[in-house]
Structure 1
Amino acid sequence: MSNLFWYICLAIIGVGITAYTIYTKKHIYKVSTLMVFYLFAAGTTWIGEFIVLGLFNSYAYKTGLFTNPWAENLLGHLILNTTLYPAIAIVMVAYKLRYAGVILVTALFLLTEYLFVTMGLYEHHWWKYYMTATAIVIFLLVSRYWFARMNQKPYGLTRALTFYFAALLIIHTPAPILLLLGKQHYEIGIIDSWAGDFYLSSIIIIFFYHLAESFLLVLFACVFNKWYWKVIPFILPLVVQSIFTKMNILVLDDQWKLVYTLLIYEIFIAIFILLEKYTLKPDLNNRYII
């Protein structure tokens, strides 16, 4: 069986666990709240892995689909950090796992990691097993704390930060997919020279940009509570991506058109705007209005 098969199996397990947990706990928590938390949890893992893998090359995924190691890393990251990690966060908060549960989940992750290393599906560089254990424990404890805070104070800074990580996940998702499909990439000379890899430099450029764009998206969609502010997030990518194209920072490949990229941007921004409008609604008496 191909390496990718095992990654897909983990993804299916993650999605299945999430779906089952949300279904069985829908009488306790709003489905929309659990879904927003899922996006928040996935967004935090994306930032964490961007640092430890993207910037410090701590380990390597071996999906077997690409010859380029950073394309492999990108695909492995997309599969696992969008499914498995947020799934355990959902389990943690929905079933209110205590320390025994945290230890069990951590042990299962370590066992999975060991099997993947043994089977040649995953490779450590400077990363160690105890680092995985530490990261999982911290991730679960932070998830428990933040979910409780989300439910107690779904307004102000708590709501804004929750939607920031969700926004990052939503608006960044198309970029690595289009990169892996060979439709577009980003390049800046100094970053290309430092990274030394086509895929890595492209993701570094667009990820840092999306960190900033997510902040502006949350600012105009969540904080500035007037309809006309919500128009700005739709205008921003039209301007910035067009400038990137003119400056040859955004390079279109395989007969891909800028209009396709812009259309995808607008769709994903609209998804976020609707998500923010109808989920995690605060008490109007407590929500600040600008």
Structure 2
Amino acid sequence: MPNFFWYLLLFIFTGLMLYSAGIKDKKRAIVLWLFNSGLSYLFELVVYVMYNCYLYKPDVFKDPFVDSTFGSIFSQGLSVPAAATVAALFKSGAASILIFSYIFSAIEVLFLHLDIYEHVWWKTSYTFFFIPVLFSISKLWYWLLKKGRIQTLFITHYVCMITLSTTITWLLFAIRPTVLFHFGLFEEPSRDHTFANAIYFIAVSLFYSIFAFTKWKTLKLLLFILLLAADYLLVQHHVILIHHAMDGAGLVLTHLYFWGASLLLGKQLQPPLHRHEE
């Protein structure tokens, strides 16, 4: 049976969880899921990208690190954050969260047994420990979201934009690499790109969120000019590698796309959450 089949099951499992979460709270389910995914990505940036803790094997891409990262998205970007969202929306108690820890630990053991996932220095006990941590943060953040305070909304928007920008740009890189990031910190070009791409969009997502929350048109224009100027400097210093002018234009279009996405996310996030709820 192809390796990817089991990752596809994770995708279906995620869809079912998000559907149930959407029934419970349509306005906040996707936002909270994206927020949880962003937290998982930040964690993965350290333990997986920097310190090579484990290896996924969906067997889709030829490059081992690209293939592994693609598999990581199914786990850390989809299924675990979706489960944390369900736990928060349905107010799961300690016993339910413990069951979730057992389930994901069991899935991990199954993937190890099927040889579609491999530990380098990670242990299943770490998974069992960290699942409740994310779930607890998710429950707390859901409570804060219902309060609708501007600080919570802005941080949520920012983390959601990290999720969207890093996921979409990384998938574009995996399918057809045109714009490459190069820090020179890792021997594997794909690992180096993944790390640099993440750092870049962690920084740039702050621009996207400020753009969505400010009403000052002058500030919006200034942010865009600063962003283009920063890109130009990064290209000149060979941190961003582009081979054709069209690739540079594509980077500008990418910013415009996320500019629009940030506005849509802001509209989705703010109106229903400005109302005080207990």
Q: Do Structure 1 and Structure 2 share a fold, with TM-score over 0.5? A: yes
Q: CA deviation at 1:183?
A: 2.1
Q: 1:233 to 1:57 in 2, by over 3 A?
A: same
**TM superposition score normalised by structure 1:** 0.86
| One-letter amino acid of the counterpart of residue 151, structure 2 | L
Is 1:103 aligned with 2:102? no
Corresponding position of 1:160: 154
2:206 is equivalent to residue 210 of structure 1 = no
2:121 alignment counterpart: 126
Offset of 1:185 from its aligned partner?
Answer: 4.5
- What SS does structure 2 have at the residue aligned with 1:275? helix
Return 5+ residue gaps in structure 2 as ranges.
Answer: none
How far 1:87 sits from its partner (Å)? Answer: 1.1
1:258 to 232, 248, 253: 248
Give the drift of 1:232.
Answer: 4.3
| Residue 136, structure 1, aligned to residue 131, structure 2 | yes
Amino acid across the alignment from 2:46? I
Q: Which amino acid aligns with 1:267?
A: Y
Instruction: Measure, in 1, the Cα distance between the counterparts of 2:93 and 2:9.
Output: 27
| Counterpart amino acid of residue 262 in structure 2 | F
Q: Match for residue 149 of structure 1? A: 144
| Structure 2: distance between partners of 1:119 and 1:256 | 43
Give the 3-state SS of the residue equivalent to 2:176 in structure 1. Answer: coil
Who is 1:21 aligned against? Answer: 21
Q: Which residue of 2 aligns with 1:113?
A: 108
1:163, distance to aligned residue in structure 2 (A):
1.1
Moved more, 255-264 or 141-150: 255-264
State the AA in 1 paired with 2:204: E
* Cα deviation code 1:141-187 (max 9, x no counterpart): 111011101112x2232122111111111222232112212322534
Q: What displacement does 1:58 show?
A: 0.6
Q: Does 1:276 align with 2:266?
A: yes
- Structure 1 moving runs of 4+ over 6 Å: 253-256
The answer (yes or no) to whether the contact 2:157–2:265 under 8 Å persists in 1 is: no
Separation (CA, whole Å) in 2 of partners of 1:17 and 1:202: 32
Tell me the equivalent position of 1:288: none
% of aligned pairs identical? Answer: 22
**Contact map agreement 1:33 1:280 (CA 8 A) in 2:** no
RMSD between superposed Cα atoms in Å: 2.3
How far off is 1:236 after superposition? 4.5
Paired residue type of 1:106: S
SS at match of 2:118: strand
| Corresponding residue to 2:216 among 181, 203, 226 | 226
2:180 corresponds, among 175, 180, 186, to 186
More displaced stretch, 123-132 vs 171-180: 171-180
Q: Give unpaired runs (5+ residues) of structure 1.
A: 286-290
Among residues 73, 76, 84, which one is paired with 1:81 in the alignment? 76
Matched letter for residue 121 of structure 1: I
Distance 1:151 1:67 in 2: 44
Higher helix share: 2
Structure 2 Cα separation of the partners of residues 233 and 35 of structure 1: 27
